[in-house]
Structure 1
Amino acid sequence: MTTRNAPVPTAEADTDSGVQAFVAEWEEWHRDKDARLAAEHGFLAITGLHWLTDEPQRVPDAPGVWSTGPDGVTVELDEGAELVVDGTVVRGRHVFGVIPERGGVDAVWGDIVIEVAKRGGHDVVRPRHPGHPLRVAFAGTPAYTPDPRWVVTGRYVPFPEPQPTTVGASVEGLRHVYDAPGRIDFRLDGRELSLTAFNGHTPGTFTVLFTDATSGVTTYAANRNLRIEAPGPDGEVVVDFNRATNLPCAYTDFATCPLPPAENRLPLAVEAGEKIPHERGPINP
């Protein structure tokens, strides 16, 4: 009886295995990201973006008459109509109160969730219907094949104090103001580059909005978003452009996404991360 020894791993095999694991991890991350986008009441379920004023108005896919004023957003519900706000059934007149910038409250009406929010200093209402065709037809976001070459080590450089930074928005005439705590310095394709960072959703993390030479060609023209995890003790951060994502405005006109600061236009083609969504038309190779 003879036995056959298992093949001895080679450096090339180890490299191939590492790349396969890298790609598999990216694919899982991307599936989860698209799943959140296309959730029952995610951004793809939004049926309209309605700007409130002191003049009462009716809003499609929402009951009652809506307005805003010094006390915040108010709805006057029709007889027999009701909303569920923070688990409580409300009828008649309901005052949502003053909503902070980038804040929001959800009101449930049957299978519709009505988002009441403030964006760029304006109160808005955005109904989210799970049957919205944009959500129902969503088939995923196209992206470049993940490649470890687009993962670089950078360094977070804090500013002496946070810098209030005004940027444009996907909605014409709207402005957003963010505090920029610092910048991310890194080297890519032999170039020394830098991106202004905003605070992320989780304390200690950062959000970087940028464009590059692919913007408007294979990637969405207005912006892409990159999450940067909290830096190490020496300020070291990982910049993984494979995880550059579209903001909701890449899919729907009912988003108010911020644009990158002027200095965040990279002078090279970052052929990594998400491409122009199918919903926005054909993509160049």
Structure 2
Amino acid sequence: MSTVDPDLAEHVAARDAWARSARGPLALVNAQHVDRPQPVWPVAGQWAPVPGGLTVTAAAADGVVVDGVPVDGTVLVAGDTAVVPSTVAFADGLAGTVHGSTLRVWDPASDAVSRFARIARFAPRPGGWVTAGRYEPWSGQEAPGHLTDAAGDPLPVAGTIETTVDDVPVRLTAVRSAPYHGRPRLQLIVQDTTSALPESDPGSSYSMGRFLYLPEPDGAAEVALDWDRLVLPPCAFSYQYACPVPPEENRLPVALTAGERHPVDEQGAVLH
């Protein structure tokens, strides 16, 4: 098995671009659950829950635009499960999206976006750091249901992956992630001994853990785990996100000195 990743530099650049993008995690300045009519900081309008999304009530002078049409009255804002989710624009370049009954407000000129320089990473090992694993899907009768993220949303369990990391055999629980470029993929939510180190320590990584994605096989199969592709969860960039908690079996007793560590500014200070 080759341990050389010719696409790593492209992967790193794409991740940095995603972090600072207009809908990247650094731009999320509020994620407010709307369970009754209420204002939402820092945008205009009165927001209320309805089946399929939210409504916004605003005057034309408020500058709220839903699906390209200025709001003057009360308008439905379709959520992200709709066939065509709504887009919302506000004054000063802010934007909004609806996730369930939560209004997410994005500011592409947020303080975090302005301060961000890069995602600090561990130096890659010579030749890469790839381990061979064996994926075993859960059968319908064995499946433990699902894990939950910190917000209580379900993370459906797909199966297990057995591998050896620095001579330590592990059996990891894999959840089913959203498709990527039309392909199903698995997600490992892991912590390791670097997760507990102080943020100022060059050997540390984000305390709540990191993610590793890989293509989901059709059934039981050999898989490759490229630890240089460990990425930070969105909650590493903004307090507006909830972090999933790694299951006990995914808390590794080894130091995964690979992949992403923290988002940092030009001086190397951790942003969050």
1:239 to 221, 225, 231: 225
Give the number of the structure with larger relative contact order, counting CA–CA contacts within 8 Å between residues 6 or more apart: 2
- State the Cα distance separating 1:244 from its structure 2 match: 0.4
Kept after mapping to 2: 8 A contact 1:213/1:270: yes
Q: Are 2:122 and 1:144 aligned?
A: yes
Name structure 2 gaps, 5 residues minimum.
Answer: 198-203
1:133 to partner: Cα distance: 1.0
Structure 2 CA distance for aligned equivalents of residues 144 and 109 of structure 1: 39
- Asked if residue 191 in structure 1 is aligned to residue 171 in structure 2, the reply is no
- What RMSD over aligned residues (CA atoms) do the two structures have, in Å? 2.7
Give the drift of 1:79. Answer: 3.6
* Deviation sequence 1:229-251 (CA, Å, 0-9, x none): 23387612110111101111112
Conserved in 2, the CA contact under 8 Å of 1:228 and 1:239?
Answer: yes
Q: Which has the larger radius of gyration?
A: 1
Tell me which moved more, 180-189 or 107-116: 107-116
Amino acid paired to 2:145? P
Which residue number corresponds to residue 139 of structure 2? 160
Aligned pair 1:128/2:110, yes or no? no
What do the CA deviations read for 1:18-43 (whole angstroms, capped 9, x no partner)? 98x74x63122111111011112322
Match of 2:157 among 143, 155, 180: 180
Measured against aligned partners, the alpha-carbon deviations of 1:118-140 in whole angstroms (never above 9, x if no partner) come to: 2xxxx211211111110011100
Q: Partners in 2 of 1:207 and 1:176 — Cα distance?
A: 15
Residues 183 and 114 of structure 1, relative CA distance in 2, 3 Å threshold: same
Aligned partner of 1:92 in structure 2 is: 73
The two structures have a TM-score, normalised by structure 1, of 0.79
Give the TM-score of the pair, scaled to structure 2: 0.82
Q: What are the Cα deviations for residues 169-189 of structure 1, in whole angstroms up to 9, with x where unaligned?
A: 1xxxx3121211111111222
Contact map agreement 2:149 2:155 (CA 8 A) in 1 = no
State the Cα deviation string for residues 146-189 of structure 1 (Å, max 9, x = none): 124521111210001254223341xxxx3121211111111222
Aligned to 2:22: 40
User: 1:145 offset after TM fit, Å?
Assistant: 0.9
Amino acid at match of 2:248: A
Q: Secondary structure at the match of 1:214?
A: helix
C-alpha separation in 1, matches of 2:224 and 2:26: 30
Q: Deviations over 1:211-262 (max 9, x none)?
A: 0111131011112011112338761211011110111111211112322223
**1:98-118 residue CA offsets vs partner (Å, 9 max, x unmatched):** 6649x9653122522112112
- What amino acid is aligned across from residue 186 of structure 1 in structure 2? T
For residues 233 and 166 of structure 1, the distance between their equivalents in structure 2, rounded to whole angstroms, comes to 21
Inter-CA distance 145–62: structure 2 relative to 1 (3 Å threshold): same
Output the CA distance in 1 between the equivalents of 2:241 and 2:73: 29
1:69-80 equivalences in 2 (<5 Å): 69-70=50-51, 72-80=53-61
207 and 86 in structure 1: CA distance in 2 versus 1, 3 angstrom threshold: farther
Equivalent residue for 1:253?
Answer: 239
Shift of 1:93: 0.6
Indicate the residue corresponding to 1:60 in structure 2: 41
Asked if 2 retains the 8 angstrom alpha-carbon contact of 1:167 and 1:258, the reply is yes
> Is the contact between residue 45 and residue 64 of structure 2 (CA under 8 Å) also seen in structure 1?
no
Cα distance between partner residues in 1 of 2:173 and 2:116: 32
Aligned to 1:214: 194
Q: Structure 1's 282 and 124: CA in aligned 2 closer, same or farther, altered over 3 A?
A: same
Equivalent residues, number = 253
After superposition, give the CA deviation of every residue in 1:68-113 in whole Å (9 maximum; x if it has no partner).
1456411111243454444555442112356649x96531225221
Q: One-letter code of the match for 2:129? A: W
CA distance in 1, matches of 2:48, 2:249: 38
Q: Which amino acid aligns with 1:47?
A: V
Tell me whether 153-162 or 75-84 shows the greater mean CA deviation: 75-84
Q: Percent identity?
A: 27
Distance 1:151 1:134 in 2: 33
